[in-house]
A and B are shown apart, each in its own frame.
Chain A
């Protein structure tokens, strides 16, 4: 079974600073995928970034990057140059066996607050 652990219930960051949101995972599958989602107060889940277990490089999407350390089983999200609109819940999720039919397993989330 897969498990995602997000140890930071809440984080604060100053506007324009970078912030790292932690995510560790546990799986026995040799092939898996890791995802990050953002959930603003309005409730919709917005997909941010994906990292495959066999990807050689860390994923990046605009201001989002993933610090993937396979040996440590961690997949931390880095947000550079934080903006007020980044205030939201952030969820780390994984799919084991990296199969299209397998549901995502989610962590409990981290609430990020960006301060002006």
Chain B
């Protein structure tokens, strides 16, 4: 079974802090994704990566950056946390090439910015 592990289930930080959300997958997947989920808005794509050191902006990249130094790890960084970044953050990974394969998700991180 594919395992996507997010470093924290719950996280509380203060405004202005630099926040790191870590995600690790164990299936040698090429593609990794970060979404945020808010009530009534569904899942919105922040950033994704299709290879080591490669990154692409999603629909809502403002206020975020990412890092992918190793294939198995994809980090989301909040450069200066703000209260409107309080949300559920979901990491996903997926193999490349095979079109019918789903994205596999971690359990999510509920982030509160005070």
- For B108, give its contact among A43, A93, A100 (CB under 8 Å): A43
Query: Which of B35, B58, B92, B103 has the largest number of chain A CB atoms within 10 A?
Result: B103
Category for how many chain B residues contact A = 20 to 34
Known: A43-B88, A44-B105, A45-B105. Contact between A101 and B96, CB under 8 A? yes
Taking a contact as CB atoms under 8 Å apart, the answer to whether A104 and B103 are in contact is yes
A103 and B99 in contact, given A43-B108, A45-B90 (Cβ under 8 angstroms): no
Residues of chain A having any CB pair with chain B under 8 Å: 6, 9, 31, 33, 35, 37, 42-45, 47, 50, 52, 91, 93, 95, 98-101, 103-109
Interface of B toward A, CB cutoff 8 Å: 30-31, 33, 35, 40-45, 48, 50, 58, 88, 90, 92, 94-108, 110
- 21 CB contacts below 8 A, A to B, read A9-B40, A33-B100, A35-B103, A42-B107, A43-B110, A44-B105, A44-B107, A45-B105, A47-B102, A47-B103, A91-B42, A91-B43, A98-B99, A100-B94, A100-B96, A100-B98, A101-B50, A101-B96, A103-B48, A105-B45, A108-B42
